[in-house]
Structure 1
Amino acid sequence: MPVTSVEKDLDALTLTIVADFAAPVQRVWDAYTDPRQIERFWGPPTYPATFTRHDVAVGGRSIYAMTGTENGDSHGGYWEWTAVDAPNSFVVNDGFLAEDGTATTGLPVTRMYFTFAPTDSGTRVTTVSSYDSLEGLEQVLAMGMEEGLRQSMAQIDDVLADLSSFAADHAAESQILSDTKVRVSRVIRGSVAQVWQAHNDADLMKQWLLGPDGWTMPVCEIATNVGDTYRYEWEQDGGEGRFGFTGELLESDAPYRAVTTESMIGMEGPGTTNEMTLTPVEGGTLLTILITYPSAEVRDMVLNTGMVGGMEASYARLESVIASDARELADA
C-alpha cells in the first residue's frame, strides 16, 4: 500500500496523507494531470470517477462524478485550480456539485495542497486537506474522506505501471463517457504553445487538419475572439466531395483551453459542443477534446463514420508540421 502516514490535526484543521510511489516525479505528476489517468484512481474502487473537465492551469476547473458500481448513484465534485508549479505542486479547492451542476451548499469546500518530491526510490506525494472550521473537517471525516483517500491512492500503482496506454506514440483514442459525451485524447509531440498555435494559424491548419490523405482545406476562417464564428471547408483533390463545419468560439483561455460549437454546413438540427484542453505531459502535449452530442444516436452515427481515424491522421500530420517548423527555426 503506497500510503505511509495519515495525520489529523484538529487544531490546524488539516488532514495530511503521505504516499510513496516507485516512479519518477514526472510520471506521478502526469497521473494526476491527465484526465484518463486520474479518473482511474480518484475515487474508491466502489465509486470510480469520470472527469469531464480537467484544466491544469491557474483559474482552471475540473468537473468529475463518482458513480457507485452497485446501485449507480452519482456524486459530483469540482476542483478550482489556484496554483500550479509543474511538476512540483498544485493547489485546488475541492467541492461538491448538485445534480444541476451548481456547487452544493451546506457541505465544506476543501483546500487541497499536493506536493510531489523525489525520493531515493521514486516519488513522495503529500496531500494536505485544509478546512475553515472544525465542523467542516469533522463533517468530511464522518463522510469517510480519510478511508476514501487511502483507497484511491492504493490504486495509483496500477495506473503508474500502465505506460503504453498513455505514451506519446499511442494513437488518438475515443472514450464514451455518457450517452452524449465522448472524449478524444492524443499526446502530440510538441509544446503546448506549438499545439495551440497550430490550432489558431490558418496557414498551419491548412497543412495538417485534413483527415485522410487526398483532401485539401480551401476555406479556413478562424474564430479569434469569444463570440466570433469560424468556418472550415474541405474537398477532395479535384474538387469532389466538398463539406464543412461552422460554429462559434464560446470560451478561450490561451494556451490551454478553447470551447466551440460545431454544426455541419447545410445540415439542420443541433450540433455539438467541443471542449479542447492542452496539458503538458512527458513526451509532449496531451490534447483532449470533450465532444457533447445532442443524443446517443447522433453520437454513435458520428463515431461510426471513422471520425477518430481521421483525427489520428490529422494529428500525425500535425506532429510533422511542428517538427518541420522547429527545424526551420533551428536552421534560420
Structure 2
Amino acid sequence: MPITQIDTRTEDLTLTIVAEFPVPLAQLWDAYADPRKIERFWGPPEYPATFTRHDMVAGGRSHYYMTGPDGDTPGGYWEFVAVDAPHSFEVRDGFADAEGNPNTELPSMRMVFSFEETADGSRLTTTTHFNSEEELSQLLEMGMLEGTKAAMGQIDTVLADLESFAAGRATEAQLLSDTRVRVSRVIRGDVEQVWRAHHEAALLQRWQLGPDGWTMPVCEPPAEVGGTYRFEWESDDGENRFGFTGEVLESQPPHREVTTERMVGGDQVANGVNDEQWTSVVNEMTLTPVSGGTLLSLLITYPSQEVRDAILATGMTNGMEDSYARLEREVLSPA
C-alpha cells in the first residue's frame, strides 16, 4: 500500500494524502499524464475508469466515467488550473454527466497533486480543498476517502508494469464505446515539433502517407477555428485515390485540436462506407509531453458502430503506425 499519511483538517477544509513509490519521478508523473495509464487505477477496482478526454495543460479538461458492477456509469471532470510538469498540477474536480458537463447539484473541489523525488524513488502529495465543512462531510460520507484508498492501492501494480506496458508499443486503437475509438502513440519529439508536423504542408507530405506506395498530391492543412482542411492520397500507379476534408471546431496550439472528417472519393478504401456516412466523424487530437516524447491521443467518434468497425477493418491502425514511424525517422530524427 503506497499511502503513508492521511490528514483531514476540518479547520482549513483540506484532506491531504501522501504516498511513496519506488520509481523515478518521471515514471510516476507519466502514470497521471497518460489516459491509458491513469484509467487503470483512478477508479476503485469495482468501478474502473474510462477517460474520454485528458488535456493535461493549464486550461485543459478531463472527462471520465466509471463503470460499476451493475452497469451504472457515474462521471467526473477535471478543469486544469495549472500544470508544472513533472512537479505539480492543480485541478477543479467535480461530478459530471455522460458528456462531461458539470453536475452542479453535487459539490466540486480543488485538488493539488505535488510530485517530488525521494531517496528511494518519488512521493505524491494530494491535497483536496473543500468549499465548506458541510461539503467536506458530505463527500466523506459518500465514500470519497475509501474510494481514494482503493484507487491508490492499484498504482503500485500499474507502475511496476509500466516498462512492459511501453515495450514494443506502437500505434494502438482502444474501443471506448460502440462509436468511440482512442488511438494512441508516443512520438519521439517534443509537443511543438509534433504539432508543426501536423500543420505544415511541406512536413505532412513527407510523413503522412500510410504504407509505402502512396503520395499526397493535395495537402491543405487545418488552420484556425472555422477553417477547413483537405488531404488527398494517390497510389504510385495512379489507380487509387481518396481523401478527407473537414472543419476545425476547436484549436488550442500546440496541445489540442478538434475537427470534423468526411471522406471524399475512394469508397473501396473504406470497405464500402460511403461519403455520406462520414459526415458525422469527429477527431479530437491531444498532445501531451511524457518522458519518452509526446503522447498523441486521438479520440475518434463515429456516427455508428457499423462505420467504426468498417473503418478499423481497413487496417487504419497499421497505416497510422507506418506514418508515425516515418514521422520519427524522416522528420523528427536529428540530421
Unaligned stretches of 5+ residues in structure 2? 266-274
Counterpart of 1:31 in structure 2 is 31
Provide TM-score, normalisation by structure 2.
0.95
Query: Alpha carbons of 1:187 and 1:169: their partners in 2 closer, same or farther (altered >3 Å)?
Result: farther
Q: Could you say which residue in structure 1 is the equivalent of 2:70? A: 71
- CA drift of 1:322 comes to 3.0
Do residues 115 (structure 1) and 114 (structure 2) align? yes
1:100, CA displacement in angstroms?
5.3
Q: For residues 208-229 of structure 1, give each alpha carbon's deviation from its aligned partner in whole angstroms, at most 9, with x where no partner exists.
A: 0000000000000112110001
1:151 and 1:322 map into 2 onto residues whose CA distance is 44
- Going from structure 1 to structure 2, the CA distance change for 1:136 and 1:61 (only over 3 Å counts) comes to same
- 1:57 maps to amino acid: V
Query: Following TM superposition, where does structure 1 have runs of at least 4 consecutive aligned residues deviating by more than 6 angstroms?
Result: none
Structure 2 SS opposite 1:43: coil
Contact kept in structure 2, 1:39 and 1:49, CA below 8 Å? yes
Are 2:149 and 1:141 aligned? no
- Cα RMSD (Å): 1.2
State the distance in 1 between where 2:315 and 2:107 align: 45
**Rounded Cα–Cα distance in structure 2 between residues aligned with 1:127 and 1:311:** 37
Q: Quote the residue 2:195 is aligned against.
A: 196
Tell whether the 8 Å contact from 2:206 to 2:331 is kept in structure 1 after alignment.
no
Shift of 1:168: 7.3
How far the C-alpha of 1:239 sits from its partner, in A, is 1.7
Counterparts of 1:253-264 in structure 2 under 5 Å?
253-264=252-263
Q: What is the aligned residue count?
A: 325
- d(CA) in 2 for partners of 1:166, 1:205: 29
Question: Do structure 1's residue 322 and structure 2's residue 331 form an aligned pair?
Answer: yes
Aligned to 2:294: 285
C-alpha displacement at 1:271, in angstroms?
3.4
Aligned to 1:94: 93
Answer yes or no: is 1:49 the counterpart of 2:42.
no
Which structure 1 residue ranges, 5 or more long, are not aligned?
328-332
The one-letter code matched in structure 2 to 1:314 is: S
Rounded to whole Å, the distance in 2 between the matches of 1:160 and 1:127 is 18
- The 1:124/1:64 distance shift into structure 2, 3 A limit, reads same
TM-score, structure 1 normalization: 0.95
Within 1, Cα distance between the matches of 2:39 and 2:195? 25
Letter in 2 for 1:112: M
- Percent of aligned positions with the same letter in both sequences? 62
Alignment of structure 1 residues 279-318 onto 2, 5 Å: 279-318=288-327
Give, as a single letter, the amino acid of the residue that structure 2 aligns with 1:277: T
Q: CA deviation at 1:99?
A: 4.1
The secondary structure found in structure 2 opposite 1:62 is strand
Structure 1 counterpart SS, 2:325: helix
Show the counterpart of 2:221.
Answer: 222
CA distance in 2, matches of 1:205, 1:166: 29
